[in-house]
Amino acid sequence: MPELPEVEIVRQSLNKKIKGKIIKKILVKNRNLRFKIPNNFEKFIKNKKIKKVNRFSKYLILIFQNNSGCIIHLGMSGTIHLIGNNASNITNASFYNDPILPIKHNHIEIKFKNLRLIYNDPRRFGYFLLFKNNNELEKKFSRFGPEPFSSLFNINYINKYLKNKEKNIKNFLLDQKFISGIGNIYANEILFLCKINPKKIAKKLNSDEYKKIIYYSKLVLKKAIQKGGSSIRDFKNISGKEGFFQKDFNVYQRKNLKCLKPNCKGFIKKIIISNRSTFFCNICQK
């Protein structure tokens, strides 16, 4: 599943491609996604002009000129494709990829002048949600924690949230109610740089470790965005370009390899936490 950096790359690319364009026609071939596409979907978005494409956490947000809009979540296998008049497939927006667009999984098609946006999703875990105004949009994300880049993600917030909590810190980094946008890949990398063992119980963290979590969460995600995200399996952005942050992985998918920190004699171990692969150095991370 794409994490915050990958979705941000898609957002940036989409914003360049469809910002300012008017939706001319909508074709819904399959309403049965994770949440059923509402019957008023076509009427709601037809003739709307795209004011901009935003993002919150792992969600794309199409903002229309009247501040209504549409939230898109890609799920496990959802991809967004833009096809121009020459019918060339130039996009991919998740880890799933096929050089030939599998037409049978094209569930939604949004037509602009000289351009079509296609939502393709073999596993159908993605979804589209409509909102009428900013209040409705904020309400849909009201149960989410702040993003790592937000000023709300600070020491006081972390201390208040994690105080007396018995759950391990890895699970908290994946908990969207605590912090929005971090997934398994980046949680592993953040904890490595923090020198924190992923199994460490949250209430045992100190203020210095809080500072490290804040600092390295921002650093890792910013660096991943700059490098186009992580191409695990076949992630590509909306222009068909692969990300290459995976070349900077310190622990993820490096089981049994030597720790990359200078003078460390440790090796990267793999364990399972809450059914997720977890990688960490057996020496560095305490």
Asked whether residue 191 is domain-assigned, the answer is yes
Let me know whether 136 and 159 are in one domain: no
pLDDT tens-digit map of 238-253: 455 554 455 678 999 8
Residue 131 sits at φ, ψ, to 5 deg, of -140, 150
Of 140, 173, 208, the residue at which a domain comes to its end is 140
Is the same domain home to 35 and 136? yes
Q: How confident is the model at residue 97 (pLDDT cuts 50, 70, 90)?
A: very low
Neighbours of 45 (CB within 10 A): 19
Final residue of a structural domain among 108, 140, 172: 140
Express each pLDDT in 152-190 by its tens digit.
Answer: 999 999 999 999 999 999 999 999 999 999 999 999 999
Query: What pLDDT score does 177 carry?
Result: 97
How far apart CA 225 and CA 245 sit, in angstroms, is 8
138 among known catalytic residues: no
User: Of 2, 5, 148, 198, which is the active-site residue?
Assistant: 2
pTM of the model: 0.88
pLDDT of the residue at 20 = 97
CATH number at residue 254: 1.10.8.50
Say whether 3 is catalytic. yes
Active site residue 52: no
Task: Confirm if 278 and 188 have CB atoms less than 8 A apart.
Answer: yes
Whether 213 shows a pLDDT value over 90: the answer reads yes
Do 128 and 198 lie in a common domain?
no
Together in a domain, 132 and 48? yes
Considering the domain architecture, whether residues 131 and 165 belong to the same structural domain is answered as no
| CB neighbours of residue 264 within 10 Å | 13
| Other beta carbons within 10 Å of 114 | 9
Residue 147 inside a domain? The answer is: no
pLDDT at position 134 is 97
| Residue where a domain terminates, one of 92, 112, 140 | 140
- 223 and 276 inside one domain: yes
Q: Catalytic residue at 58?
A: yes
Q: What pLDDT, on a 0 to 100 scale, did the predictor assign at position 23? A: 98
The answer to the question of residue 25 being in a domain is: yes
- Domain CATH for 98: 3.20.190.10
Structure confidence at residue 144 as a pLDDT band (50, 70, 90): very high
Mean pLDDT across the stretch 45-49?
Answer: 97
Domain count for the chain: 2
Does 112 lie in the same domain as 68? yes
Catalytic pick from 3, 8, 147, 209? Answer: 3
In this predicted structure, what is the pLDDT of residue 114?
A: 87
Burial class (CB in 10 A: 0-12, 13-18, 19+), 113: exposed
Asked whether residue 229 falls in the same domain as residue 162, the answer is yes
Which tens digits make up the pLDDT trace of 106-128? 999 999 998 889 998 989 999 99
Lowest mean pLDDT among 45-59, 69-83, 231-245: 231-245
Q: Are residues 159 and 257 in the same domain?
A: yes
Highest mean pLDDT pick, 8-17, 95-104, 220-229: 8-17
Position 163 in a domain = yes
The confidence score (pLDDT) of residue 245 equals 56
What pLDDT is recorded for position 227? 79
Is 65 part of a structural domain of the chain? yes
- The catalytic residue among 11, 55, 58, 212 is 58
Containing structural domain, residue 186: 155-281
Asked whether residue 38 is domain-assigned, the answer is yes
